[in-house]
Structure 1
Amino acid sequence: MRPALLDPLFAPLASLPGIGPKVGELFARLLDAESIDDCRVVDLLFHFPHSIVDRRNQPGIAHAPQGTIVTITGRVDRHQPPPSGKSSVPYRVFLHDDTGELALTFFRVKGNWLEKALPLDETVVVSGKVDWFNGRASMVHPDHMVRLDEQENLPLVEPVHPLTAGLSPKVLRKAVETAVARLPDLPEWIEESLRRQQGFSSAAAAFQRLHDPRDETDLDPQAPARRRLAYDEFLAGQISLALVRQKLRKVAGRPVRATGLLTAPVVDALPFSLTNSQEAAIADVLADMGKDLRMLRLLQGDVGAGKTAVALMAMLAAVESGGQAVLMAPTEILARQHFATISRMAGPSGVAIDVLTGRTKGRERDAILERIASGETQIVIGTHALFQDNVSYHDLVLAVVDEQHRFGVHQRLRLTAKGISPHMLVMTATPIPRTLVLAAFGDMDVSRLTEKPAGRKPIQTVVMPQERTGEIVDRLRSALGAGKKAYWICPLVEESEESDLMSVEERHATLAGVFGPAAGLVHGRMSGPEKDAAMLAFKNGETRLLVATTVVEVGVDIPDATIMVIEHAERFGLAQLHQLRGRVGRGDEASSCILLYKGPLSENGRARLSIMRETEDGFRIAEEDLKLRGEGELLGTRQSGTPGFRVASLEAHGDLLEIARKDAAYTLERDPDLTGERGEAIRTLLYLYRRDEAIRFLRAG
């Protein structure tokens, strides 16, 4: 149950005064919600200002700089309304101070409100932007006008919140102020010693300061109020990940006793020797699986770093121990590719391997399900279909999941909910910066593969403007003539009115004009069988140039493809460019990657392309990507069950994440059910930051 003291914050946003259906729609758009019904008062609490308007500059009329916001105190001399019937002429009010005269200018004035607001001979305080024409100062529609005796009502520092078209700053400001006023007296969930050491105020005071800043420094990421709330957000995230981990770990794992009986002949037959980091990762995995606790390990390795070999050794160890292993991939293409690779590598061990996807139908499916249930199949490879209700395992000991970012915390729990509690190894080819690993996968231990297998040649990367496309087509003509294979990647499927990007269908049409049937096409709108057929034709050499969208980004393995052309490279993120480049350079021939861009490049675009030219190190690229794009975009976090932060920034507050992680572990060690005084306060924190899913594990556990 959510603590009652948070009720005022979780009231519908529409319950605030001044938010009717029409304005409500604007608020929903502002807060990125489907409708106003999905918005709560607390959402405005997390809608922070990005800058301030400073009205403290009071230079006097004659010294007011052009186009700058100033505050002027002056005496009203005269009103100059427009001649009757000339509503297009502005209404002017003139006032003076010791230094000069200022004309206040108003358009389309109705009624006599100006005479009341600015009476003759009255001293008033006005604030707004001053413009100079022919040596005369004017202020159009001042932001604020008050009489001298009311000047304490004039806000000298005003926060500027992000807006959406149609929503006035005044309406938003009023709603935010009401939301902040509803902040209850929150219990303290941070240890006193840490609070003192970091100089943190209370959470409520931090919210108030961020929404009512006194100057620019209050909005700095390193400002004490911001750091306090960033820590709260990290702590909520780390506690919820730790609760998930605690829940997953409560189900005891079954120790796997590896004998080496199956792995030894496989290692001996491998056409390459394992790298040091592969050997270290295998040792980590086997050590984890040998314990009573379930393994939860994330295996990070760049494209081509040899994750599959590590996964295979783990799966063979599970079979040696008398159990079964599954490998789950995000797509049909990948599952079948893993099946081909693993069947080949595992050949010498003689283990029985099957592949099961959503497209396995009828008798074939029934036969596979029967073999899995009887234990005859020792390793199963497939898609999400592996965990549907009608699949029952004889003795599932290990689950390997490929491409973590498509398989969030919730899916990891769903597996456990089936009453299956295998050891879990999750592989990702997306190198994730260390801080992001902590933030998104804090419930897992991590192994990193940092070397490329021996024999891989570096990929030469060049950056070229779109205007030189003709030269590239000529280069491709001679390369394909010499028997090489190439990819050509486009960002869109079909040409649209508002976009000047080259669509994949249009590009395919022009290239097919040059290369004829040797140019194949694959994109996300094609059906599964169509995609598979196009990939197979490319693999078998029936087509030699594959024009594609980013569907080829993950895992497609065509070792003899040596050229990668990426059109509109400036439109892709660094991680994606790196993934795409990793599709070539997988064989023993030298490969190249050509990044075509359409100028002029933004600062950011230029930085991305030059990093791609400088390095092939996926981990360095990931760190740079985090700097350039921020964590939310980097993980596409909205839909993937990973945290997009509202206050914290991994870059600015990485030091706090480390502390929050230790704090979460220490707290749950001492109070695993969060029933103590601090535990109860942390429950409030989890609700405030919408991490209440984690509380359900407390109850269920």
Structure 2
Amino acid sequence: MRPDILNPLFAETDTLEGVGPKLKKPLEKLGLTRLRDVAYHLPERFVTRRAVETLDEAGEGEQIVIAVTVTEHRASGNRRAPYRVFAQDSAGNVLVLTFFGRASYTAKKQLPMDAKRWVAGKLDRYGDMLQIVHPDHVLEEGGETLGHLCEPVYRLSEGLTQPRVSGLVEQSLAKLPDLPEWIETHQLDKEEWPAWSDAIKLAHKGEHGKARDRLAYDELLANSLALMLVRADNRKRRGQPLMGDGGLRDKLDLPFEMTGAQTRSIREIEGDLAQEAPMLRLLQGDVGAGKTVVALAGMLIAVEASTQAALLAPTEILARQHYETMRKLAEPTGARVALLTGRDKGKVREATLMGLLDGSIDIVVGTHAIFQDKVAYKNLTMVVIDEQHRFGVGQRLMLANKGKAAPHVLAMTATPIPRTLTLAQYGELDVSKLDELPPGRQAIETRVVGQARLDEVAAGVERHITTGQQAYWVCPMVRESDFMTEDIAAAEARYAHLAERFGKDVVLVHGQLTPELKDAAMERFASGDAKVLVATTVIEVGVDVPNATLMVIEQAERFGLAQLHQLRGRVGRGAEKSVCLLVRGDTLSETARERLALMRETQDGFRLAEEDLRLRGGGELLGTRQSGDTPFSVASLDQITKLLPVAYADAQMLMEHHGGLDGARGEAARMLLYLFDRDWGVRTLRGG
């Protein structure tokens, strides 16, 4: 149960003065439903203004505060046109105050004719005149004090203004309770961090780095503790030890010799399965490293022990791909493999459900459908979750309901993850890493070409498919939009263009197609009936067509390193040499240039993941934005890299040497878990 001292922070936002049903909706769009959320809605940046007497003292682009006298209101007959208020400073210089939409009504009230007002905002040029668009402040008196403030700028949604959000933040901060300290004194002194409530207040009042770091550390500590609680709870649970005799695994007819990394990972999984405590392991493998074979070997141990195993995939395309691969590999063993997705209906579905219930199906592969209420198993003991980053801790915990005992869980990801983020997202898991490629895998030649050479690229694709081989063509978007500010490659437009050239040899796949259309296109490409597959990043994982040996990625600078690496990994799966063409736009940032150079230089996904983290810094990270979000709302990427190892070690010390959450510091840490919505960690501790 949440400590009573925290209850004021978990009150709904409509308990704040001025918040009614109308204002509550835009707050909810920002995820601000409780006072706690408002208090932690930290500023994106801060604005420092300079008070000036005349416009002659100010520069274009500068944030200023100035006293003016209103001289004219000028409205246009067009509702979409701006509403302009003309004013003069003390020297007679003209300043245009420009308003759009509903703000024009406010302007009429705030800026009556001949009135003297203080206005604050960014000075820009409008034709031959200076203007401020949507002034941040319009005050009758005392406005000069705005020039001495470092004012926060908050993320907004439609219906909210900066002053309104600032007012709500002030109300929330006034209700902050005094909480016991969960960080050790020596750590606070060493880092010169303020107390919790002071840190939040300081973080809203200026760019106080120490305060922001302390709040980030709090969040990282909360996440680390919660993951450790799940891990500790898992070790206490009683699972079913699985001892295989190797009879089925020995019958696997693999077309290659296993790598040392595969053999080592299977041995680690076998050791986990033999324990009563359920396995909770992450299998991290680079593109083409052979995760599927390792997972199948683990599942066959469960079958050898006369039990069942299941593989959960995030998409139907990926589920069908795994099913076909595993069915073929497992055929010599006699293990019975089935597919179950949300699309299965009627007698086919009923037969699968019956087979799972009576045990005649050994391994099932599917989407979330395999864990629906109506799906029952005779004895499910092992679960494999592919593309682990798409499933949260809560979803992983729910799997226990499908077995007689808590099932063994093997999570897999094909996205190499930097060590720091592995700790952040999978801290409750043991980790196996496939860092070797199977023998015989050829290096993929990677080239970078300019957008101006697209016709040459298309001609190259034409020559390529006349040899009997196939090609992918990946675009950043599904279709062109009226709101696009620049030319962005769209899959539908590219498909239409290539279809004119290649006819029925081209198929299109993207996430907005119906499952039936996607499956039909993929089937044509997989069978070789279609030679070119135009797609968005929906093919990033799970597509395995050995005859496809050419990958074209249009406007490659728009993708992160990890995603480019995943896409490149769709080729190079057969005996023929493969090529990846990265088609770049005309204008590249320095980061984009370095990213594309790294793609040419290396095919080591783990190195690329670390470089991706370095290049993106505090900005968007592919591994978190495009391949599963980090669980953090306060900590920036830089702070995660700097502070997480320390927070994780601190959490371990608390759990192992300070009595866990039962000691004095642990009681304070419980509050931290609730503050950052890691209460599932506390529920796990309670066994709830």
On the 8 A contact 1:493/1:523 being kept in 2, the answer is yes
Counterpart secondary structure, 1:208: helix
Name which of structure 1's ranges 166-175 and 336-345 shifts more when overlaid on structure 2: 166-175
Q: Report the alpha carbon displacement of residue 481 of structure 1 after superposing the two structures with TM.
A: 1.1
Q: Report the alpha carbon displacement of residue 658 of structure 1 after superposing the two structures with TM.
A: 1.8
Letter in 2 for 1:17: E
1:573 paired residue number: 560
Counterpart secondary structure, 1:537: helix
Q: Deviations over 1:605-640 (max 9, x none)?
A: 434333322222212222233344458753556996
Letter in 2 for 1:93: S
Match of 1:454 among 416, 439, 447: 439
2:4 paired residue number: 4
Are the structure 2 counterparts of residues 81 and 652 from structure 1 closer, same or farther at C-alpha, using a change threshold of 3 Å? closer
Letter in 2 for 1:275: T
Q: Report the alpha carbon displacement of residue 444 of structure 1 after superposing the two structures with TM.
A: 0.7
1:98 paired residue number: none
Match of 2:148 among 147, 150, 156: 156
Q: Deviations over 1:263-313 (max 9, x none)?
A: 2343xx422221121122112111222222111000011110111121122
Are the structure 2 counterparts of residues 312 and 93 from structure 1 closer, same or farther at C-alpha, using a change threshold of 3 Å? same
Are the structure 2 counterparts of residues 542 and 666 from structure 1 closer, same or farther at C-alpha, using a change threshold of 3 Å? same
Are the structure 2 counterparts of residues 62 and 550 from structure 1 closer, same or farther at C-alpha, using a change threshold of 3 Å? closer
Counterpart secondary structure, 2:43: coil
The answer to whether 1:542 aligns with 2:500 is no
| 1:45-64 equivalences in 2 (<5 Å) | 45-54=39-48
Match of 1:230 among 207, 213, 216: 216
Gaps spanning 5+ residues in structure 1: where?
A: 95-101, 119-125
Match of 2:419 among 426, 434, 437: 434
| 1:198-277 equivalences in 2 (<5 Å) | 198-213=191-206, 218=208, 223-266=209-252, 269-277=253-261
On the 8 A contact 1:235/1:660 being kept in 2, the answer is yes
- 1:128 & 1:530 partners in 2: Cα distance? 52
The answer to whether 1:352 aligns with 2:336 is yes
- 1:12 & 1:111 partners in 2: Cα distance? 42
- 1:677 & 1:543 partners in 2: Cα distance? 66
Match of 2:515 among 509, 519, 528: 528
Q: Report the alpha carbon displacement of residue 512 of structure 1 after superposing the two structures with TM.
A: 1.9
Q: Report the alpha carbon displacement of residue 586 of structure 1 after superposing the two structures with TM.
A: 0.6
The answer to whether 1:588 aligns with 2:575 is yes
Q: TM-score, normalised by structure 1?
A: 0.83
The answer to whether 1:298 aligns with 2:309 is no
- 1:375 & 1:106 partners in 2: Cα distance? 78
1:90 paired residue number: 87
Match of 1:308 among 292, 296, 306: 292
- 2:124 & 2:560 partners in 1: Cα distance? 43
Gaps spanning 5+ residues in structure 2: where?
A: 75-83, 98-107
2:497 paired residue number: 510
Match of 1:321 among 302, 305, 313: 305
Letter in 2 for 1:250: K
On the 8 A contact 1:318/1:324 being kept in 2, the answer is yes
Q: Deviations over 1:17-65 (max 9, x none)?
A: 3456665555555xx24xxxx532222322223444446x899999967
Are the structure 2 counterparts of residues 263 and 631 from structure 1 closer, same or farther at C-alpha, using a change threshold of 3 Å? farther
| 1:284-295 equivalences in 2 (<5 Å) | 284-295=268-279
Match of 2:673 among 686, 691, 700: 686
Are the structure 2 counterparts of residues 143 and 321 from structure 1 closer, same or farther at C-alpha, using a change threshold of 3 Å? closer
Q: Report the alpha carbon displacement of residue 556 of structure 1 after superposing the two structures with TM.
A: 0.9
Are the structure 2 counterparts of residues 166 and 627 from structure 1 closer, same or farther at C-alpha, using a change threshold of 3 Å? farther
Name which of structure 1's ranges 357-366 and 656-665 shifts more when overlaid on structure 2: 357-366
On the 8 A contact 2:560/2:621 being kept in 1, the answer is no
Q: TM-score, normalised by structure 2?
A: 0.84
The answer to whether 1:412 aligns with 2:400 is no
The answer to whether 1:338 aligns with 2:322 is yes
Letter in 2 for 1:156: H
- 1:82 & 1:342 partners in 2: Cα distance? 78
On the 8 A contact 2:181/2:195 being kept in 1, the answer is yes
Are the structure 2 counterparts of residues 66 and 487 from structure 1 closer, same or farther at C-alpha, using a change threshold of 3 Å? closer
On the 8 A contact 1:673/1:698 being kept in 2, the answer is no
For these two proteins, the number of residue pairs brought into alignment is 656
2:476 paired residue number: 491
Letter in 2 for 1:224: K
Match of 1:474 among 456, 459, 465: 459
Counterpart secondary structure, 1:674: helix
On the 8 A contact 1:462/1:594 being kept in 2, the answer is yes
- 1:295 & 1:691 partners in 2: Cα distance? 22
2:546 paired residue number: 559
Counterpart secondary structure, 2:287: coil
Counterpart secondary structure, 1:566: strand
Identical positions, percent? 45
